[in-house]
Amino acid sequence: MKYILLAGALCAFPMSAGAQAIKAPEPARQFTEAEVAALERPDTRFDETPEIALGYDKYFYFHRADTDFSTAFHDISECDALSSGSNFYGGGDAGMTSYYAMQYGVAGAAGGALGSLFADAVFGSAERRKIRRNNVRQCMEYKGYSRYGMERERWQAFHFEEGLGRVKDEKRTGFLMKQALVASGPKPETKELLP
């Protein structure tokens, strides 16, 4: 009964105004075979050395069997958004919220995006980069992806690090697409790391 009442009340609720203030989440992007085929596959082959292996906490990539490119891209994008504090599940745009807060001094925009600035001022960019790495790793573990180590230069060809600034969207999406290509591609031949 409670839920019938709830449903009735929701129908009466004026959602039209909310459609702008509370924005709908972006739908999951579906890529065509041609779009995927047009992507340049990153080179993940390298000869492991003890020195390279020491960097696997920083330089790693993901793979999951039986996963198509669109799913992998959606998963990686979700983990990227959670890790950087961006909006993913709808409601608004964290980047624009910060923009208007800083450029126009909008009081209502001073929320979570602002709060982290103080911690950032204290701990610095390196700590923020480390947190982001760990966040992506944790999120992808939950999604069932395996983690593999990589040599630094090859890793840099399709990954980015993010500290206090924000990598621009176009560059970001390009990197995430390449990561999705690897994540949904052939199973790596190298040793799987701990999550």
Partner 1 sequence: MTRLFWRAAALACVAIPTMAFAQPIGEAKILSGQAVIETDSGYVFVTGPERQMGTLLRMPEADDVVQYEEEWAKQLARVQKKYPSKLASWESKKAAAEQTKAKVPDRPIEPTAENFSIEPIEARNAVTFGYTSIYNKSATPRSFSYLTKMKPGRYVYHGPLWTGPEGSMGTCYCMGSVAFDVKPGVITNIGNFFAVAASAGQSAAAAVDMAAVNYDLPASLQALPHVQAEFHASGKFDNFFRGTVGRMPAVAGVLAYDRDKVIDAKTGQMAAGMMAANAPPRTAADAVTTTDAGKAGEEEVTEQVSTQP
Place of tokens 């949904």: 184
Overall residue count recorded for the chain in this entry: 195
Q: Which stretch binds partner 1 (CB under 8 A): 36-44, 91-99, 150-158, 177-185?
A: 91-99
By beta-carbon proximity to partner 1, the closer residue of 44 and 184 is 184
Distance CA 77, CA 61 (A): 14
172 binds partner 1 (CB under 8 A): no
Could you say which of 27, 93, 159, 171 contacts partner 1 (CB under 8 A)? Answer: 93
CA distance 175 to 181: 10
Decide: is 165 part of the binding site for partner 1 (CB under 8 A). Answer: no
User: Cα-atom radius of gyration of the chain, to the nearest Å?
Assistant: 20
Backbone angles phi, psi at 193, to 5 degrees: -90, 170
Residues between 96 and 155 that touch partner 1 (CB under 8 A): 96-97, 99-119, 121-122, 131, 134-135, 138-139, 141-144
- Among 24, 34, 37, 38, contact with partner 1 (rule: CB under 8 A): 24
C-alpha closest to that of 158 among 40, 71, 38, 68: 40
Rounded CA-CA distance 59/79 in Å is: 16
Measured from the CB of residue 51, what is the shortest distance to partner 1 in angstroms? Answer: 29
Residues that bind partner 1 (CB under 8 A): 2, 5-6, 8-10, 13, 15, 17-18, 20-25, 75, 79, 81-94, 96-97, 99-119, 121-122, 131, 134-135, 138-139, 141-144, 164, 195
